[in-house]
């Protein structure tokens, strides 16, 4: 399902990602059933006076639309692949935990997304989505489908973030709930990404029973994929990302996957879109039989 949400309210490009990835063969290559696009229009670029979040009421409405569509797919026995749009799609997608109860979160992202309406330099909900789903934020989002949090902070593992050299004001890492486990990109590259992915999958399976996987394309180094909203250096390469995601996607306890922050306007020849489709399709490809 496409969730072309652009939380800036300025039509900056992420909303065109579902169409670009379809054009690059996503549905055909994955064998998925295309549920179409959810209406996630945000065209109010003003910060809400109460929450400090741009287009707050439209973000809330869009999140409810995403939630209801994801729940419908789950009720049909499907495994949702939610294609954003920006990272704000996570709020509505993960809120579908109402279908199961407790759900963990494997959060693969170049940023921590833990600002608030007061600390975010931009006011964009994509600065805050991880904070929202772990119960830190305004009423109307943290309690989208019931009492907060949507995900228990202790059931969340963040992988792939690094410091933004242009970051000013409070250090985002100092704002993160201390119960959330963090694995920075440089450490992942020095270590064994597939082993980390397997460890996280097994931990969330045992601890929460099920988990959602969120994949922000800016986890890649900006030299690998420049077609993102806020590129950051010192990210992961294709081989790291594939190895990290493989055991998470192939877990039988995976509820669904969200893909966010691809900006087709920065990919004029379609090269990045094709490589992303190849990556995603490869992760969902049937495993070869053991001999």
Element (H, E) at 84: strand 81-84
Q: What is the pLDDT of residue 80?
A: 97
Q: Count how many domains the chain has.
A: 1
Tens of each residue's pLDDT in the chain, 291 residues? 999 999 999 999 999 999 999 999 999 999 999 999 999 999 999 999 999 999 999 999 999 999 999 999 999 999 999 999 999 999 999 998 888 889 999 999 999 999 999 999 999 999 999 999 999 999 999 999 899 999 999 999 999 999 876 666 668 999 999 999 999 999 999 999 999 999 999 999 999 999 999 999 999 999 999 999 999 999 999 999 999 999 999 999 999 999 999 999 999 999 999 999 999 999 998 766 555
Q: What is the CATH number of the domain that holds 141?
A: 3.40.800.10
Range of the domain at 256: 2-284
Q: What is the pLDDT of residue 289?
A: 56
User: Is 290 within a domain?
Assistant: no
Element (H, E) at 150: none
Question: What residue has token string 């989208």?
Answer: 144
Pairwise CA distance, residues 224 & 226, whole Å: 6
Nearest by Cα to 56 from 155, 145, 124: 124
Pairwise CA distance, residues 243 & 196, whole Å: 9
User: Is 291 within a domain?
Assistant: no
User: Is 33 within a domain?
Assistant: yes
User: Is 167 within a domain?
Assistant: yes
């Amino acid at each position: 399902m496409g969730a072309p949400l652009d939380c800036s309210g300025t039509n900056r490009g992420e909303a065109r990602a579902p169409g670009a990835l379809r054009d690059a063969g996503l549905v055909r290559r994955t064998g998925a059933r295309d549920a179409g696009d959810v209406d996630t229009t945000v065209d109010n670029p003003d910060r809400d006076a109460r929450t400090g979040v741009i287009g707050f009421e439209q973000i809330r409405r869009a999140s409810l639309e995403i939630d209801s569509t994801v729940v419908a797919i789950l009720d049909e026995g499907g495994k949702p692949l939610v294609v954003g749009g920006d990272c704000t799609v996570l709020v509505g997608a993960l809120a579908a935990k109402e279908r199961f109860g407790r759900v963990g979160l494997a959060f693969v992202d170049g940023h921590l997304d833990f600002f608030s309406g007061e600390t975010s330099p931009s006011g964009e909900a994509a600065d805050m989505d991880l904070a929202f789903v772990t119960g830190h934020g305004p009423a109307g989002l943290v309690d989208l489908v019931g009492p907060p949090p949507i995900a228990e902070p202790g059931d969340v593992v963040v992988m792939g973030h690094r410091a933004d050299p242009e970051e000013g004001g409070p250090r985002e890492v100092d704002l993160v709930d201390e119960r959330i486990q963090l694995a920075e990109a440089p450490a992942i590259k020095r270590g064994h990404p597939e082993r980390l992915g397997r460890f996280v999958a097994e931990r969330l399976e045992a601890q929460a029973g099920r988990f959602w996987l969120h994949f922000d394309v800016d986890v890649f180094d900006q030299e690998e994929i420049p077609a993102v909203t806020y590129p950051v250096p010192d990210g992961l390469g294709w081989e790291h990302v594939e190895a990290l995601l493989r055991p998470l996607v192939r877990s039988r306890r995976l509820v669904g996957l969200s893909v966010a922050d691809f900006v087709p306007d920065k990919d004029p020849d379609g090269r990045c879109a094709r490589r992303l489709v190849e990556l995603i399709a490869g992760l969902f490809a049937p495993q070869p039989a053991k001999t």
